Structure formats: C-alpha cells, structure tokens
Amino acid sequence: VITKVKARQILDSRGIPTVEVDLYTNKGMFRASAPSGATSGMYEAIELRDGDKGTYLGNGVSRAVKNINEKICEALVGMDPTLQAHVDQAMIDLDKMEKKNELGANAILAVSIAACKAGAAEKEATDLSGKTNLNLPVPAFTLISGGKHAGNNLAIQEIMILPVGAKKFEEAVQMGSETYHHLKAVITEKYGAHECNVGEDGGLAPNVARHVFREGLDLVKEAIDRTGYKERIKIALDVAATDFCIGTKYDLDWKSPNKSGLNFKSVEDMIEMYKELCTDYPIVSIEDPFDKEDWDHVKYFSGLGICQVLGDDLLMSNPKRIERAIRETACNALVLKVNQVGTVTEAIEVVKMAKDAHWGVVVSQRSGETEDSFIADLSVGLATGQIKAGAPCRGERLAKYNQATKVIELTGTLKHEGDGVAAVIGLD
Ligand code: PGA
Ligand code: ZN
C-alpha cells in the first residue's frame, strides 16, 4: 500500500521549475517528475504555476507541490498502487476540474506516474498492455530543431529520422547517433561550427536559408548518405504549422526579423509542397501539417495516403478531439503526451481509442523534460510501436532511449522487424 507521498520543486531541462514526487510503499520509494511543453494548447490539462513574477519569473510550482504534500498525500495513503485507475480517479475527484487546474496537472501526473512505477514493482512487471510478448518502439530522433524549439530561422519544428531498418533497439540508437554526428560534420563543413548549436530537444539548429524545408532536408539526406544505411533510415517532420499560420496563410519566414512577406504559402501551396517533399525525400510521417483547427485539410491530406499524418497540436491528447478525428478520419496517428491528458489511466484509454481505430501511436516527450524515463516504459508497455524523445543527445532525451535499450535486455525485439515502413506507420 501507499504509505507516503512527498513532492518537491526541481528544475527541468530548460531550467524552469517542475514537480518531482517520491511515492513510498512497502516495496520502497518510487520517483517521478512532470515534463512541460512549449506549444501548450487550450485543450490540454493545465499545469499549476505560482504566477509570482518575483520568483522564477512566475514559473514556480510551490502550490502544486503543496497540493501533493497535503491533499493528494492524504487521499492516497492506504491505497493499493496496483489499482492505477482507482489512484488516478481519487485525484481526479479531488481536483474536480476538467483540465486539472485545481491541484495542477503537473502535480497529478507526477503522482500518477510514481504510482504506476510502484504498481509495476508490486506486480514485478512493466507491461501495461496485458500481452506477454513486448515489442520495442521505433524511435523518432530529432536531428534538426526549428520552430519554437530553436533560435534559428527554420519555420518547422523538427526534422527527425526513423531507423526503420534496425533489427534491435540498440541498433536503432546506433543508427540515430551515427547520423546525428555525420550531420554535425556536414553542417560544420557547410556553415561552420558556430551553426552546430542545439535546440530545446537536442536537435542541431543551423540557420538554414530561403527554402527552409529543402535546405534542412538536404543536410539530413547528406548525413544519412554518409552513414551508408540508405533506405533503412526514413525521415519524419513535425511541422507544428499552427505556430506560423496567419489567417489562411502560412508564413515560412515567421521567425525572421525582416519579414519580406514573400514566403507566405496558401494551404494549397502547402499541400503541393508536402507532396513534392514526400517524392524527393524519404519522408514517411508528417506531424501537424496544418493549423490545429483546420480539420478539413488534415482530412484531405491524410486521405491521399502519402504518409503517416500525426495529430499532436490537432489532438492535444484530448479524448474528445481524438474521438472527433477518428469519426471524421482527420488524421491516422496519435501523438500521446502524458502531461496533456494528465494521468496514466487516461493515457492508456486514449492509446486504446487510437489503436481500436487502427491508428499509429507515438508516445512523445515534451520540449521541457526531466531525467524521468517513464515514457520509454509506457511506450513498450502499451506496445505503441513508435516513440519520440528528441535527439540522440542530451541527458534528459537519452534517459528515455537508454531506458528502452535496457528493456530489451529483458525481452522483445523492434516492432515490425523487417516489415518495412508501411507496417511501421500503419499504412500497409
Ligand atoms: P512541446 O512540443 O513539448 O514544446 O509542446 C513537442 C512537439 O510538438 O512534439
Ligand atoms: Zn508536435
């Protein structure tokens, strides 16, 4: 049983306060912490911040910590941590708000994850899916960062690689790391070492010029060529197009101080551009290709069947939006961010919804992360098939990839081994 829950404020990978929890049972102490995004949307659970501008610029989480140490601790002591749904429901009932803003989604999530770890230790298992044969996910490594995650002029948020031809997770990590280092060399040769700074999730962040998509993609393609892995590595994009949608246009120069207005694209231009890019580069997955409220064009684009179309800002891991997207066949894969939905139980529920609709599922990090590696276990435990945890670089990103590598020592092979990309992205 849960004997004590104790929280504290720590700093995340951006140096911004977040919540860490120690949950005690008869089996020991189980620790978890909450991540935080840069593109937080209005449909996601709300993290509680102090708002006192004199302390941590208003970002302190002492109220969330206090809520755990007093209210949540009192409600949970004596409960069985293997009954995850009961533990999570107790916190939802205590909070009463749809977006968990009373106790704070950061408080609730950290406790929920700690309880999951405690429950797993009790059951001596990490499997949440009820299956005995665990599959490891294909990692999406961020190689180039842009958008809100970096200070360069790249409009889109991430250019990632998927080592779909890897036979083992370890090999996928090796392929990701080697490509990353080749990319660093390519950028150094082309622009100089000063363009090798990194973005929030460890992706390299060179200032790429005019044809922002193509120049970044050419760099990545060159790096893949240098590895010799050829078609065993595919490319994925997170466009995060909501960030640069102005009315009905998309401003590819949105981060430039002297906006020329010459790089505005209509939604039709964007569709044409994606089609061309998918022909010219081995792109198999595109996340948020349009504004988060533009359901019609996402539907049209995913209907073309060119690539996996991921809903992140579109869905915000929100069950109502996922349900609508399934009903309207708006996209064909879910980005699951546990802190957007707020508890492990609700995360499992939305993964189930997505799987029942034969969607792909990517368990995802946030740009503000901690060393907590739980999402790796979640991805393996729910057999989601894909995980997105940033670059193969920086401790808080590697915590997840390294954890997945350790899980392979217990069991499992890479999901869809040898099946090719179509199976990986659910288009077969
Ligand atoms: P965020 O973005 O964590 O900064 O919101 C991550 C993503 O868009 O995948
Ligand atoms: Zn995204």
345-378 residue pLDDT tens: 999 999 999 999 999 999 999 999 999 999 998 9
Residue nearest to atom 7 of ligand 1 (CA): 366
| Number of residues that make up the chain | 428
Ligand 1 centroid vs 290 CA: distance in angstroms? Answer: 15
Residue that the structure tokens 């740009």 belong to: 367
pLDDT, tens only, 232-275: 999 999 999 999 999 999 999 898 877 766 789 999 999 999 99
pLDDT band of 132, cuts 50, 70, 90: very low
CA dihedral (364, 368, 372, 373) positive or negative: positive
Distance from C-alpha of 87 to C-alpha of 129, rounded to nearest angstrom: 18
Confidence of residue 419 (pLDDT cuts 50, 70, 90): very low
Distance 155 CA to ligand 1 centre (A): 14
**Ligand 1 centroid, distance to 39 Cα (angstroms):** 6
**Which residues are placed with Cβ below 5 angstroms of ligand 2, an ion?**
238, 287, 312
Q: Position 78: which residue type?
A: G
Q: Is the CB of residue 37 below 6 angstroms from any atom belonging to ligand 1?
A: yes
pLDDT at 427: 35
User: Which pLDDT belongs to residue 123?
Assistant: 79
* Atom 1 of ligand 1: nearest residue by CA position: 37
Burial annotation 123-156 (CB, 10 A radius, 16+ → b, else e): eeebbbbeeeebbbbbbbbbbbbbbbbbebbbbb
Please, which pLDDT band fits residue 428 given cuts at 50, 70 and 90?
very low
Which ligand 1 atom sits closest to the C-alpha of 388? 9
Residue 71's pLDDT is: 98
Q: Which ligand is nearest to the CA of 37?
A: 1
Return phi, psi of residue 138, to 5°: -80, 125
- Catalytic residues, by residue number, are 201, 337
Amino acid letter for position 235 = I
Mutate to test the pocket of ligand 1, among 364, 386, 387, 396 (most ligand atoms within 8 A of CB): 364
Percent of residues, the chain, with pLDDT higher than 70 = 90
**Ligand 1: does its nearest atom lie under 6 Å from the Cβ of 369?**
no
Q: pLDDT tens digits for 234-244?
A: 999 999 999 99
177-204 average pLDDT score: 97
C-alpha 65 – ligand 2 centre gap (Å): 28
Res 417 pLDDT > 50? no
Q: Rounded to two decimals, what is the model's pTM?
A: 0.94
Atom 6 in ligand 1: residue holding the nearest Cα: 366
